[in-house]
Amino acid sequence: MEQIKQSLRDSAYMRWIALALISTTMFFAYFFVDVAAPLQDLLLKNYHWTPEVFGMLGGAEFFLNVFAGFLILSGIILDKMGIRFTLITSGLTMVIGAFIKYYAVTYVDVNTTMNVLGYTLPTTASFAFLGFAIFGVGVEMAGITVSKAIVKWFKGKEMALAMGLEMATARLGVFAVFQLSPKLAASGGVSNAVFWGLAFLTIGFLTFLIYTFIDSKLDKEIGQDASTGGEDEFKISDLFKIIVNPGFLTIAALCVLFYSAIFPFQKFATDMLASKLNIPASEAAPLFSYFPLGAMVLTPFIGYFLDRKGLGATIMFFGAILLTVSHLIFALVPAESFNTAFAIINIVILGTAFSLVPASMWPSLPKIVEDRYLGSAYGLIFWIQNIGLLIVPVLIGWSISYSNPGVAEQIAAGADVKYSYTFPELIFAGFGVAAMVLAVVLKIVDKRKGYGLDLPNKK
């Protein structure tokens, strides 16, 4: 009788196979997210993209999620239609958006402009923004679906470790793109780098597809409905329960501040390091690749610790401290005192912060909200996060031009000059300070509400 009650998720082997499949797709998705990040200099010289335009590209990924509410809709779709339907939808959306971006940098005339929402932009940028916005809908939908899938397979087991390994795999994609994208661009231009990102995403869609067969078999074994997953029926009114939950609101605010100091920074990090160290961008990009590599190595260990010892809320606070310290170092240490070894040490500090906060944040959400609207909770928190990720790259692009008047024109004309990143880095550090405050607030809320955020995940 005991054997009859067993399901696929009771098999450690099958749990990790399922995790490997969905994590592989996220590896390719994160590769495409930053495929243009190390190529800012090439985009300025060959496509006439100023820092503001480059910043808009970073923000475009989140435009439809924020203004059209696609992330909230994605969470509702996930809770109503189930994991398999949402994974396939997200995978197709990513591939379609990636293809449009590839078309933009390959076939659109680089010398033409068009008006978009009152801005005169290179036509290449306008089409790239459209493709990246569509891709952004898919990648964020995939993110919340993968999170719910991990909860489904690992709740009460190695959930934080599993989430940590998934995040580590995704960050390996960031490491790979900062290593490979400059090399791919050197042999075929920006178009070649984007093409390979599109090719990898197509493979990622296939791994999502394979996962759905395993998920379907699990549902049959445990008697869950194919669309809703067998949970209590989700109602739209449940969204109100989420947004009035003080624990959810605090984590959401902490999330948007922390990620606003990480992902937008990745877009500009190559050029910032090239400027600070006075080296070519082709040398700076591999240097920054150690940032996600450090996070990749540390995150599973942090997840393992959280599963067995807990202290999730406390770890978020220390992660926010490291985040602030790292950006202050980038901002305030003079260029003449800033060498390669110093840069690597500071990148490791930032990578450690990038390990601590997400590894403890995402496994905390199932402790705060009910399973039946967990997908919508992830959708809402990603939507709030996306507001910051939409605005901040544009803000940073503006701050670079504002604090470096005339430099973009000199670089476009072929002059060997660099931007100063002091002002942008102080903005990033400010986000870190605010995140520290909210981490303290989260501990207070946890103590009052008894969520158990500092308790172990494994039962």
Where residue 404 falls among pLDDT bands split at 50, 70, 90?
very high
Residue 250, domain member (yes or no): yes
Q: Of 276, 292, 325, which is closest to residue 429 (Cα–Cα)?
A: 325
Contact 148, 22 (CB under 8 A): no
Q: Position 91: which residue type?
A: G
Tokens 């803000």 sit on residue: 395
3-state SS, the chain, equals CHHHHCCHHHCHHHHHHHHHHHHHHHHHHHHHHCCCHHHHHHHHHHHCCCHHHHHHHHHHCCHHHHHCCHHHHHHHHHHHHCHHHHHHHHHHHHHHHHHHHHHHHHHCCCCCEEEECCEEEEHHHHHHHHHHHHHHHHHHHHHHHHHHHHHHHHCCCCHHHHHHHHHHHHHHHHHHHHHHHHHHHHHHHHHHHHHHHHHHHHHHHHHHHHHHHHHHHHHHHHCCCCCCCCCCCCCCCHHHHHHCCHHHHHHHHHHHHHHHCCHHHHHHHHHHHHHHHCCCHHHHHHHHCHHHHHHHHHHHHHHHHHHHCCCHHHHHHHHHHHHHHHHHHHHHCCHHHCCHHHHHHHHHHHHHHHHHHHHHHHHHHHHHCCHHHHHHHHHHHHHHHHHHHHHHHHHHHHHHHHHCCCHHHHHHCCCCCCCCCHHHHHHHHHHHHHHHHHHHHHHHHHHHHCCCCCCCCCC
Residue-wise pLDDT for 412-423, tens only, equals 787 888 889 999
* Average pLDDT taken over every residue of the chain: 87
Question: What's the rounded mean pLDDT across residues 31-48?
Answer: 90
The whole domain housing 289 covers 2-449
Task: Give yes or no for residue 84 having a pLDDT over 90.
Answer: yes
What are 340-345's contacts with CB under 8 Å, separation 24+?
A: 340/277, 340/287, 343/273, 343/276, 343/277, 343/287, 344/287, 344/290
Task: Give yes or no for residue 459 having a pLDDT over 70.
Answer: no
Contact 295, 351 (CB under 8 A): yes
pLDDT score for 70: 86
pLDDT score for 204: 95
Task: Give yes or no for residue 117 having a pLDDT over 80.
Answer: no
Which residues lie across from 114 on neighbouring strands?
A: 121
Question: What's the rounded mean pLDDT across residues 111-129?
Answer: 88
pLDDT score for 1: 35
Number of domains in the chain: 1
| Predicted structure pTM score | 0.75
Task: Give yes or no for residue 3 having a pLDDT over 50.
Answer: no
User: What is the distance between the alpha carbons of residues 396 and 394, in angstroms, rounded to a whole number?
Assistant: 5
Distances (CA, A) of 318 to 110, 354, 396, 428, 437: 46, 11, 25, 17, 11
Contact 323, 261 (CB under 8 A): yes
CATH number (domain holding residue 94): 1.20.1250.20
Question: What's the rounded mean pLDDT across residues 323-343?
Answer: 91
User: What is the distance between the alpha carbons of residues 259 and 218, in angstroms, rounded to a whole number?
Assistant: 34
Parallel/antiparallel/unpaired status of strands 119-122 and 113-116: antiparallel
Where residue 236 falls among pLDDT bands split at 50, 70, 90?
low
> In terms of residues, how long is the chain?
459
Q: Percent of the chain having pLDDT more than 70?
A: 94
pLDDT score for 287: 85
pLDDT score for 228: 42
Where residue 124 falls among pLDDT bands split at 50, 70, 90?
very high
Question: What's the rounded mean pLDDT across residues 1-30?
Answer: 81
Task: Give yes or no for residue 246 having a pLDDT over 60.
Answer: yes
Task: Give yes or no for residue 175 having a pLDDT over 80.
Answer: yes
pLDDT score for 358: 79
Where residue 115 falls among pLDDT bands split at 50, 70, 90?
confident
Task: Give yes or no for residue 226 having a pLDDT over 60.
Answer: no
Task: Give yes or no for residue 78 having a pLDDT over 60.
Answer: yes
More confident residue, 237 or 174: 174
Contact 267, 393 (CB under 8 A): yes
Task: Give yes or no for residue 336 having a pLDDT over 80.
Answer: yes
Highest mean pLDDT among 144-158, 305-319, 320-334: 320-334
pLDDT score for 234: 53
pLDDT score for 224: 59
Task: Give yes or no for residue 87 having a pLDDT over 90.
Answer: yes
More confident residue, 144 or 373: 144
Task: Give yes or no for residue 232 having a pLDDT over 60.
Answer: no
Question: What's the rounded mean pLDDT across residues 93-118?
Answer: 92
More confident residue, 225 or 49: 49
Residue-wise pLDDT for 430-453, tens only, equals 999 999 999 999 999 999 998 888
Residues 6+ apart with CB under 8 A from 134: 64, 93, 96, 97, 100
Residue 454, domain member (yes or no): no
Contact 353, 319 (CB under 8 A): yes
Task: Give yes or no for residue 223 having a pLDDT over 70.
Answer: no
Task: Give yes or no for residue 183 having a pLDDT over 70.
Answer: yes
Residue-wise pLDDT for 372-382, tens only, equals 777 778 878 88
Residue 458, domain member (yes or no): no
Task: Give yes or no for residue 395 having a pLDDT over 50.
Answer: yes
Question: What's the rounded mean pLDDT across residues 267-294?
Answer: 85
pLDDT score for 286: 85
User: What is the distance between the alpha carbons of residues 51 and 43, in angstroms, rounded to a whole number?
Assistant: 10
More confident residue, 156 or 182: 182
Task: Give yes or no for residue 311 having a pLDDT over 50.
Answer: yes
Q: Percent of the chain having pLDDT more than 90?
A: 40
